[in-house]
Every structure is written in C-alpha cells, then in structure tokens.
C-alpha cells in the first residue's frame, strides 16, 4: 500500500509540474523596464519600445495588446515571428495586432527562414512592417537630435552585415541594434557606439532542470562594448513547455539621466 501511495504522490507531483510548465509557456506577461543613459538625447524625453521576440506558433493575446496600447512609441519584433508549419494567416493576425500599438520593425530569425521567406517579406511589406535587414531607421527630434534603430539579418545563415547597418545609420545618433542572436555583440566595437542591443533566440533556456539549461535566463547585461538585452521570448520551440524561464514580452523606457538598468 505504501508503494501505491508513493506512486500516486510521484504521479500527482509530475502532473502538477507539467501543468506549471504549460502555464509558464503560455503566460502573457509584459515586463516593464527603465533604462537610463547619460548620453540619451534629452530632447526626446522618454522613448518607449514594445519588444517581443520568438513568437513562433503563438497568437499574441489581446491582453498583451491592451496592456501596451497607447504606452509604446513603436514595436520591435526580435525575430522568429514564425516557423515551419505556421499558417501565414496566423502571422498576419499577429502583425495586425502589433500594429495597433504603433509602427512595427522586424529583424529576421533563423526559424523565419523555415517558411517561404519571400512571401513573409511580401506580407510585411503589404502591412507596412519595416524589415531591418542590415539597415536602419532614424528618428529625429524637433531640435535635431537623432536616434537610430539598426537591424541585422540572420547570423546563423551568415546573412548579417553590421557594417551595412552602421553605414545606413546617422553617425551622430543614439544607436539601438536589434538582432535575433545575442552573439552579435561579438562583432560590436566600442567605436560603433551602439548603446543597446535587443535580442532573443535563446528562450532564456526555456527549461531549467535543477538549475541547469543550455542557456541562462533572459536579462540585461552591461558589456564592455554595449548593453545587451535578452528576452526569454513569447513562444516556445519543440515542446510548448517552460520551467523557470517564463514567456515574456517587454515595455522598455529609454531616458536620459544617471545610468541605470532595470
């Protein structure tokens, strides 16, 4: 009888763990951050970015859109918007939801190339989504100060050309780089003056067992050459499960002041 109870206890515990992992995989959490830079152009006041990465097979919850709508200046998709087997109608639905928040900018991830990427590119063009494939976009305040959002193509296919994105960017500007792969930081030099990198790809390790995972959880790191922001991502790969790396998206405020990461 004691063995039976032990078996039931283990089975029950396993079921609860599985349910918890499913819950973490389908959270609709918007994490709020404030990043303060001493050289952020003061005439912009505050710039708010909604950052979402690694959507994969998920449909973005209306709750997320509701929580962010009216609060962000623009949206950055950090790659892996889709993957093999995801209908393009689902992709369109997600893009139309994100456009309710503000202008949308996109960088390619490795899984985006599993689908007909030319069709995906055409869909984004038709919907007015700006693809940053080794290019940049410049925002200018009324006083002439400039902020540049740069984006690089997929590193895994060696399509990234940071040099071209930098040429496309204004030299005297506050530079933010979007890259699906956080390893782009290995190619950034101090003289590039890229102040912030927005990335995903790792899913924050997705599943941490006894503290172990191939990747560490997402977060913000101050490096010698830049500041690296890694998201756990919104969707999952392989199994729709997460453990200690919950699904997330981000509302990031940038402002001028004494440098602070949070």
The residue-averaged pLDDT of 20-40 equals: 97
The residue-averaged pLDDT of 199-217 equals: 94
pLDDT at 218: 97
pLDDT at 86: 98
| DSSP conformational letter for 243 | B
The residue-averaged pLDDT of 249-261 equals: 94
Residues 177-194 have pLDDT tens digits of: 999 999 999 999 999 999
Residues 159-168 have pLDDT tens digits of: 999 999 999 9
CA distance 14 to 8: 10
Sign of the C-alpha dihedral computed for residues 236, 120, 140 and 167 taken in this order:
positive
- Domain locations along the chain: 2-256
pLDDT at 11: 61
pLDDT at 211: 82
The residue-averaged pLDDT of 102-111 equals: 98
| H helix runs in 128-168, sequence order | 162-168
- Number of H helices and E strands in the chain, helices first, is 5, 12
Topology (CATH) of 2-256? Purple Acid Phosphatase; chain A, domain 2 (3.60.21)
Question: How far, in Å, are 29, 43, 108, 198, 201 from residue 156 at the CA level?
Answer: 29, 38, 11, 17, 11
pLDDT at 210: 86
**Mean pLDDT of all residues belonging to the chain:** 95
pLDDT at 261: 86
Lowest mean pLDDT among 9-13, 41-45, 61-65, 150-154: 9-13
Token output for 222:
């101050």
Residue 105's CB is within 10 A of a number of other CB atoms, namely 20
pLDDT above 60 for 219: yes
* Greater pLDDT, 6 or 163: 163
pLDDT band for position 262 (50/70/90)?
confident
pLDDT above 60 for 237: yes
Point out which residues pair with 32 in neighbouring strands: 251
Ordered DSSP codes for 169-233: S-SSSEEEEE-SSGGGGGG--GGG-EEEEEE-SSGGGSB-BTTB-SSPPPEEEE-SS-EEEE---
| H helix runs in the chain, sequence order | 2-25, 62-68, 88-99, 117-126, 162-168
CA 74 to centroid of chain Cα atoms? 13
Question: 0.75 cut: is pTM over it?
Answer: yes
pLDDT at 3: 62
């Amino acid at each position: 009888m004691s063995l039976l109870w032990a078996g039931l206890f283990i089975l029950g515990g396993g079921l609860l763990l599985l349910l918890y992992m499913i819950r973490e995989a389908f959270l609709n959490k918007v994490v709020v951050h404030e990043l303060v830079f001493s050289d952020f152009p003061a005439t912009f006041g505050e710039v708010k970015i909604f950052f979402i990465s690694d959507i994969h097979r998920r449909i973005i919850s209306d709750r997320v859109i509701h929580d962010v709508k009216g609060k962000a200046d623009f949206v950055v998709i950090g790659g892996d918007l889709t993957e093999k087997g995801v209908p393009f109608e689902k992709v369109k639905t997600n893009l139309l939801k994100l456009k309710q928040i503000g202008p949308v900018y996109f960088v390619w991830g490795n899984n985006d190339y599993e689908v007909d990427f030319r069709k995906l590119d055409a869909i984004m063009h038709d919907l007015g989504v700006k693809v940053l494939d080794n290019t940049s976009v410049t925002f200018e305040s009324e006083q002439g100060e400039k902020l540049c959002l740069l984006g690089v193509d997929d590193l895994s296919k060696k399509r990234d050309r940071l040099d071209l994105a930098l040429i496309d960017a204004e030299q005297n500007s506050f530079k933010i780089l979007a890259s699906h792969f956080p390893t782009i930081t290995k190619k950034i030099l101090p003289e590039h003056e890229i102040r912030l990198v927005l990335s995903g790809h790792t899913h924050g390790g997705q599943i941490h067992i006894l503290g172990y995972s191939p990747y560490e959880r997402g977060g913000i790191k101050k490096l010698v050459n830049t500041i690296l922001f890694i998201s756990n991502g919104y969707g999952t790969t392989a199994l729709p499960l997460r453990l200690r790396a919950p699904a997330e998206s981000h509302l990031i405020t940038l402002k001028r002041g004494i440098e602070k990461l949070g």
